Amino acid sequence: MERILLLNTSHASNRIFRQLLAKTDFAALIENKSMEPMEVIATEKPDIVVMEIGEEPVEDIATLQSIRKLKPQTPLIAISANTSPEITMEVMKHGAYDIMHMPIDTNQAHFLIHDALATVRSIKSLRAGINPVADFAPEEIIGNTSPMQAIFKLIGQVAPSNATVLIQGESGVGKELIARALYRHSLRQGRPYMAVNCAAIPETLLESELFGHEKGAFTGATQMRKGKFEYCDEGTIFMDEVGDLPLGTQAKLLRVLQDGEFTRLGSNIPIRVNVRVIAATNKDLEKEIADKQFREDLFYRLNVVRIEVPTLRERKADIPALCLAILKKLAVKENITVTSFSNETMQILENYSWPGNVRELENCIHRAAVLATGDTILPHHLPQSLFGTSPSKRGQENESELVSQAFDTLIRHAQKTPVLPLLDFVEQELLLRILRETHGNQLKASKRLGMARATLRKRIDQLGIMDDFK
């Protein structure tokens, strides 16, 4: 039987895990009473560690690092009352299996423990030769919704590596903030970082900007010039709007990613560099490949790790926090004294569809804050464009748009995989995602799905999914 160690956890957390494991027989619980963390790890040899990140996160994260160094294959689940993106990214960066935030949701805890145990058993099976059975000044990224928390975890996991990252999302969602967070939490922090907007530089100058040129390489090249890749050696380059690169420049970028070398314009001498590339685009690169506008081989080099950034309309619960953060930033930059929003104003902001995403929200609040005469933003301070349709109609239009996009994606996927049983696939994926979001609570899931609980349970049985949540 596997053993789970509770390390530096509170009495409340201990009680939850005791109650959780009392209902099952899949693991034994070890509670650390007095020994130092590394001593109890060495003595008890747990299969899973559950560790609380307290009020001194630096010290606790150092302990986490030590545990990961001593037991690199032991899943470590962190618990924290602090929902700060920085804490989440730091914890995941240093190898945590996952992180739970207080108050602990017992369904989530059950899911994570069971998932970690499946990983432990797979590792043990592999060792035994058995096939495993499947069971800058940093600008804060605001987001407490599930999609954003998932991104923070992914940043923490990916940042310390040298893997190329492709960030995809609509204009204005904050792709550059994600890139900066990756750099800030990487091993290259403190080394050169440059951002290049590939769509903003004329095609005739882009290659020179990226790779440099020799004196006399073209009319007006009066002296040798280093390009951004050369300046960023041992550092990181962020290539925004990479989908707009001309095909010729794409070929040269591919060579840098494959071989780590390039030549300046007008030179035949190769220059070797060690640069990590983070790319971003608002285009569908698979479609661009089909249209012969983007190289497929370059796409695979860029798409080592992909981060999909949700639109603002997909995380409306973050709007109040975003609005306050924007006001706080304006107060520092422009000496604006507005500090709050009326309830009616906030409702209007939450109901709007925000086609321009966070960038549009920032512009809207900036305008409203300038026009406000008191310390509160009122509805008449907002742009007229926010009142074009009623909130209910805007919600219906937005919902229809999202459903249409989802079906377009599914149909494209089905066309690539003709044997895919599309209806079963859609239903299974929908049930799994709703169950994960509700942490296995079938009553909540059935309400979200608009079906009777008995019907949901029947479909779960028929599809053979999520047995642990029955």
Domains identified in the chain and CATH numbers: 2-127 (3.40.50.2300), 151-308 (3.40.50.300), 312-388 (1.10.8.60), 399-469 (1.10.10.60)
Cα 383 from Cα 161, distance rounded (Å): 44
Residue 165's nearest CA partner among 307, 311, 308 is 307
Measure Cα distances from 9 to 5, 31, 81, 281, 348 in Å: 10, 9, 12, 42, 42
- Mapped onto helix, strand or coil, the DSSP state of residue 77 is strand
pLDDT at residue number 137: 44
Element (H, E) at 197: strand 193-197
Does the pTM surpass 0.75? The reply is no
* DSSP tag of 225: B
- Give the residue ranges of the chain where pLDDT is below 70: 23-27, 32-34, 122-139, 388-422, 466-470
pLDDT at residue number 277: 97
* Neighbour count for residue 340 (Cβ, 10 Å): 15
Beta strands in 8-97 (DSSP E): 27-31, 48-53, 76-80
Q: Classify the C-alpha dihedral 207-212-216-222 as positive or negative.
A: positive
* Neighbour count for residue 402 (Cβ, 10 Å): 14
What stretches of 84-235 show up as alpha helix (H) in DSSP? 85-93, 106-127, 146-158, 175-184, 203-211, 228-231
- Mapped onto helix, strand or coil, the DSSP state of residue 238 is strand
> Cα-Cα-Cα-Cα dihedral of 166, 169, 173, 175, to 10°?
10
Q: What is the mean pLDDT of the chain?
A: 84
Query: Cis bond leading into 103, ω under 30°?
Result: yes
Cα 317 from Cα 411, distance rounded (Å): 29
pLDDT at residue number 454: 79
Distance of CA 12 to the CA centre of its chain: 30
- Mapped onto helix, strand or coil, the DSSP state of residue 375 is coil
Residue 177's nearest CA partner among 16, 321, 30, 307 is 307
Q: Which residue has the tokens 């190898």?
A: 95
pLDDT at residue number 124: 66
pLDDT at residue number 188: 92
Decide: 3 and 47 in contact? Cβ < 8 Å: yes
Beta strands in 201-283 (DSSP E): 236-240, 261-263, 270-272, 276-281
Radius of gyration of the chain (CA): 26
